[in-house]
């Protein structure tokens, strides 16, 4: 019966190492459980060993994942940070895009009206490069433009007619 003080060093003997492992593993998990229960704190333990096929986890896989996640969130770690940064980056892009879309869809009549009209005008101007007066594509563009303008003016006339109580106000006629 030699129960001497244990020297803190790797146990060379295979079987006794495994025995010690099993005993101490149980102890460790018990301690973890105790500190959790007594202090109500978040704690976890992971133990791998060549002896167990799956890593020993306490308090539970889910609980441990929470612990790990929080741990990773709190500490600045390469892999996680990359993930977070990527997510933030993507999120920022999404937010930006969403804002843009929201802005596009915003139901402020005047803003939409002005913006759309200016964009329209700008596009119309872009269709006319300086000195490009013999470009066949431009004639087509102009025709399309004329058609659209006619449609627009017609609708505008109809609206004015409604607004002003039936008087038929001619605004214009394109081409």
Residues forming the site for DNA (CB under 7 A): 1-6, 14-16, 18-20, 22-24, 26-28, 30-31, 34, 38
CB 167 within 8 A of CB 161: yes
Strand-pair partners of 58: 45
59 binds, among its own copies, DNA, none (CB under 5 to 8 A by kind): none
From residue 65 to residue 94, what is the string marking binding to its own copies with x (rule CB under 8 A)? xxxxxxxx-xx-xxxx--x--xx--xx-xx
48 binds, among DNA, its own copies, none (CB under 5 to 8 A by kind): its own copies
> 143-174: b or e for each residue (b if 16 or more CB lie within 10 Å)?
eebeeeeeeeeeeebeeeeeeeeeeeeeeeee
SS3 123: helix
Distance between CA 160 and CA 142 in Å, rounded? 26
CB 69 within 8 A of CB 87: no
State the DSSP code for 5. P
Task: Using the structure block, give the residue that is written with the tokens 């101490």.
Answer: 24
The encoded tokens of residue 76 equal 């600045």
Q: How many other CB atoms are there within 10 angstroms of residue 109's CB atom?
A: 8
99 binds, among its own copies, DNA, none (CB under 5 to 8 A by kind): none
Residue number with CB closer to its own copies (1 or 44): 44
Site residue total, its own copies (CB under 8 A): 107
By the rule CB under 8 A, 55 interacts with its own copies: yes
42 binds, among DNA, its own copies, none (CB under 5 to 8 A by kind): its own copies
Site for its own copies in 136-175 (CB under 8 A): 138-142, 144-145, 148-149, 151-153, 155-156, 159-160, 162-165, 169, 171-175
- Can you tell me which of 31, 85, 103, 106 binds its own copies, judged by CB under 8 A? 31
Residue number with CB closer to its own copies (1 or 6): 6
- Can you tell me which of 4, 5, 59, 61 binds its own copies, judged by CB under 8 A? 61
């Amino acid at each position: 019966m030699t129960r001497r003080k244990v020297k803190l060093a790797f146990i060379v003997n295979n079987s006794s190492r495994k025995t010690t492992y099993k005993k101490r593993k149980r102890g460790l998990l018990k301690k973890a459980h105790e500190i959790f229960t007594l202090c109500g704190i978040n704690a976890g333990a992971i133990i791998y060993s060549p002896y167990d096929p799956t890593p020993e986890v306490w308090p539970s896989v889910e609980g441990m994942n929470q612990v790990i996640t929080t741990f990773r969130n709190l500490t600045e770690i390469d892999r996680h940070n990359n993930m977070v940064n990527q997510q933030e980056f993507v999120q920022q892009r999404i937010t930006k895009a969403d804002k843009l879309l929201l802005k596009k869809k915003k139901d402020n009549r005047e803003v939409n009206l002005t913006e759309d009209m200016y964009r329209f005008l700008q596009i119309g101007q872009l269709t006319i490069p300086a000195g490009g007066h013999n470009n066949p594509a431009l004639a087509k563009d102009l025709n399309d433009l004329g058609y659209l303008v006619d449609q627009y003016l017609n609708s505008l006339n109809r609206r004015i007619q409604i607004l002003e109580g039936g008087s038929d106000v001619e605004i214009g006629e394109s081409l």
